[in-house]
Structure 1
Amino acid sequence: MKLAEISDDPKKCRDAEKLASNEFSSFEFILSLNIWHDIVHKINLVSKNLQSEDMRLDVAIANLKGLVSFFEKYRENGFTSSMIDAKELDNEMDIEPIFLIKRRIKRNRQFDDNPDTEREQQFPLKNYRTDYFLVLVDMVLSQLKIRFKQMELFESVFGFFV
């Protein structure tokens, strides 16, 4: 809003006002920020531990194992806790905690198309959970597991130094 007030360019003013009033003040955006904060905060804590000068390989593996365990639990319970946090923030910011129903794109069906009726009937909250939250957490988990396997391989090769 401050950018909209101080800018001389009318296009920048309109864009800034639109972002501040629509995109940045939506429940979806606040929830996304909460989810990203949880993910990045936890990864940052482990990353700082892994970068310490006296880090040992067995301790690094234990940290990664704990991180994988956290995200497996977060996949099950994290969405509801993020929703609660986002609703608290929305109350402070006077934003309604609702998901906007997006317009569905209609397309002509072909004779051999299978109707995707189950997918079409899902609620916006469920769509958000399956299309955004679970995809994001699953990507984080898969990357952590790949790195965890690499660290275990390094320990099997260089573990005798400990």
Structure 2
Amino acid sequence: MVFSLKKLKKSDPDIAHEALTLTEQLKDFSFIVSLVVWYDILYQINVVSKSLQSENADIIEGKEFLDKCCKFLEDYRKNGFMSALITAKELAGELGVEPIFKATRIRRTRRQPAELAPDEPAESAIKKFEIEFFNVLLDKAIIKLKERFSQFNEFSETWSFFVRFKEIT
């Protein structure tokens, strides 16, 4: 995709500028890390999705897959950021991108007289990315997965005896 954008640089000035901007954004290390994180999350969700859509899927297996997916996301939130960084550094090396997060200026905001203490800004660009992107994304993914499949879990608990009865007979 980057190569296609480089070819577009030689055309119309507006298109060339947009292609140049997109190329620079694709070469940003934080973008590469976000792609790795999204890939890891969506890969696990795809496994669950395919298992639930298979012809011979049953309720008990579906619930087990969902529980494993939730467990993976919770473990990934606790321990996965460093593994995502390692994978992203390998990809960045292959793409010729410098594996560092660009530091941004810390915004100072005025405090109102009733405020006790300001929120502490993140110490580094990596920590800021972890707090503002990684943790937020995984928290939302875990919550939405549990929300959307809470009814499925209730149904599974209520009607799974049919599947067990079928296995017994």
TM-score range relative to shorter protein: 0.7 to 0.9
The answer as to 2:115 corresponding to 1:141 is no
> 1:118 maps to what in 2?
120
Find the counterpart in structure 2 of residue 97 from structure 1: 99
Deviations 1:46-93 (A, max 9, x none): 110110011110110011111111111111111000000001111111
Quote the Cα distance in structure 2 between the aligned partners of 1:93 and 1:4.
Answer: 14
Q: Contact 1:65/1:148 (CA < 8 Å) preserved in 2?
A: no
SS of equivalent to 1:95? coil
* Aligned equivalent of 2:167: none
2:134 is the alignment partner of 1:156: no
Which residue pairs with 1:71 in the alignment?
73
Q: CA deviation at 1:147?
A: 3.5
Q: Which runs of 5+ in 1 are unaligned?
A: none
Amino acid at match of 1:152: N
After superposing the two structures, state which structure 1 stretch, 144-153 or 110-119, moved more. 110-119
Indicate the residue corresponding to 1:13 in structure 2. Answer: 16
Report the TM-score, using the length of structure 2 for normalisation.
0.85
**Structure 1 CA distance for aligned equivalents of residues 25 and 73 of structure 2:** 28
Percent of residue pairs identical:
37
> Is contact 2:111–2:118 with CA below 8 Å preserved after alignment?
no
Tell me the matched-pair count: 160
Q: Runs of 5+ in structure 2 lacking a partner?
A: 164-169
2:51 is matched with 49
In 2, distance between residues paired with 1:16 and 1:161? 57
Task: Give the C-alpha shift of residue 108 in structure 1.
Answer: 4.0
Q: Which has the higher contact order (CA 8 A, sep 6+)?
A: 1
- Give how far 1:152 is off: 2.0
Q: Which whole-Å CA distance do the structure 2 matches of 1:115 and 1:159 have between them? A: 53
Q: Secondary structure at the match of 1:118?
A: coil
Pair 84,152 (structure 1): closer, same or farther in 2 beyond 3 Å = same
